[in-house]
Amino acid sequence: MGTNDSYGKELAFQADRRKACVELIKFVNDLWFDKSIELILFRNQLLDRNVSDIINLHEYAGKFVGKPINVFDTVEIARAISTSDLPPARIDLGKLTYEYQLEGNKYNDTLSFVVDKLKDAKNSPEIQPKDVVLYGFGRIGRLLARELMSKIGKGQQLRLKAIVTRDPNDESSLEKRASLLMYDSVHGDFHGSVNIDVENESLIINGSPVRMITANQPEDIDYTQYGIEDALIIDNTGVFKDEEALSRHLKSKGADKVLLTAPGKGVPNIVYGVNHDEYDVDTTKIWSAASCTTNAITPVLAAVESTLGVKKGHLETIHAYTNDQNLVDNKHKKYRRGRAAALNMVITETGAGSAVAKALPSLAGKLTSNAIRVPVPNGSLVVLNLEVEKATSVEEINEIMKKHALEGNLVEQIKYSISNELVSSDIVGTSAPSIYDSRATIVSPDGKNMVLYVWYDNEFGYSMQVVRLAKYIAQVRRYFYY
């Protein structure tokens, strides 16, 4: 009888927890679509999540901060946010809930706590939406289109207006572009709708038209004839890589700024969260989002450099194969890359070691680097072998990374993993560019040498960094609390 009674109580508890999850999902959706307020849980997306996702995210959150974060508490904080008069914002529900557990006794109720914590939101400047054009529509371009259209809300930030390719926009081409956007072998189906409008040469994404423009060179385009003004051009072709070539975009009527989704020469190379604020957004017209590997290692190196100091180091990136490799053995302009990508581990070069210095000048000349392409389509790993100025321990360096993942300027960039079972497929779809594997950390007996393992989704994680930088360049970053 006692066992049955306990089982019944557990079932009742789980039912109540699932009801609370449903209630939280409603708050998340209502706040986003009615007020452009985005709720996240320790940097994890809550929008478009199901009940099981919400439960799992709360369990991770509790382990991450070492204090139970349950959905009954987060839903109360979400309710308080929904009744507050707030401008468009991005708010970490996990951080607020954790702080309420620590400080809640100082307040009369959750509403007074939320009002006090978010009081600075009222001082945030008004945002003017920015038109966006994707120049190119490859792996990164399609992920950017998915993110921009699924998170468009009321269109108060970035508005994807057009996509430029070299293809003629006949029915067959539009159908193929729509299919590639809708279905993805790595990232799964797009959670939305994609249709075509042949007459207007457009993709209809989640009901909104996005004009497909055919062009062989950027300066030939007049964006204003498509109702596009002062646009941010995101170049993901990989063709234009230096200031002179990228400046051609600015000759297009209706173009305002350019963002390159690759390392650039003669232009600011930015790892958002590390050095984005070193350049004037009003006067700087051309930007680079650096590489996926540079975005993965720079936040972790910034955390180590600021706390322990880096004397020297070597990074080895174990990278998913990419489209520039051959599917079967064939001629290639670079050594080894001509061998079948899905069958071989391929040693090749990477400029990530020297590229870090563009974001962290104090590391100039201190790092060497190399790369191994491996037979997986996505999901990569960097092994950082560092000699540091100040002796440390596994516990201390892990605590340093955990602190940076919880608070400060790198909370969007570093995700702290506590899993003993983490493998490359697990990190696909992670929005942080750096996933710090706390269970794999090695420190030498004298504490002066360490080996850190940093995972990254070289497609999606990097694309999210591009979006963050794009919002900064376009000056449409909302008030945030995390």
Rounded Cα distance, 50 and 67, in Å: 23
Listed in sequence order, the residues at least 6 apart from 234 whose beta carbon sits closer than 8 Å to its beta carbon are 132, 133, 134, 135, 141, 144, 258, 259, 261, 466, 470
Rounded Cα distance, 67 and 73, in Å: 12
For the CA atoms of the chain, what is the radius of gyration?
23
Q: If you ran DSSP here, which 8-state letter would residue 386 be given?
A: E
Instruction: Evaluate whether 153 touches 90 at the Cβ level (below 8 Å).
Output: no
Q: Which of 389, 408, 416, 418 is nearest to 304 (CA)?
A: 389
Calculate helix-pair angle for 51-65, 394-406, nearest 10 degrees: 130
The pair of structure tokens assigned to 298 is 């720079």
21 is catalytic: no
Rounded Cα distance, 348 and 334, in Å: 8
Q: Which of 153, 77, 62, 150 is nearest to 115 (CA)?
A: 77
Instruction: Evaluate whether 435 touches 417 at the Cβ level (below 8 Å).
Output: yes
- Total residue length of the chain: 482
Annotated catalytic residue, options 61, 292, 315, 406: 292
The pair of structure tokens assigned to 81 is 């946010």
Annotated catalytic residues are 292
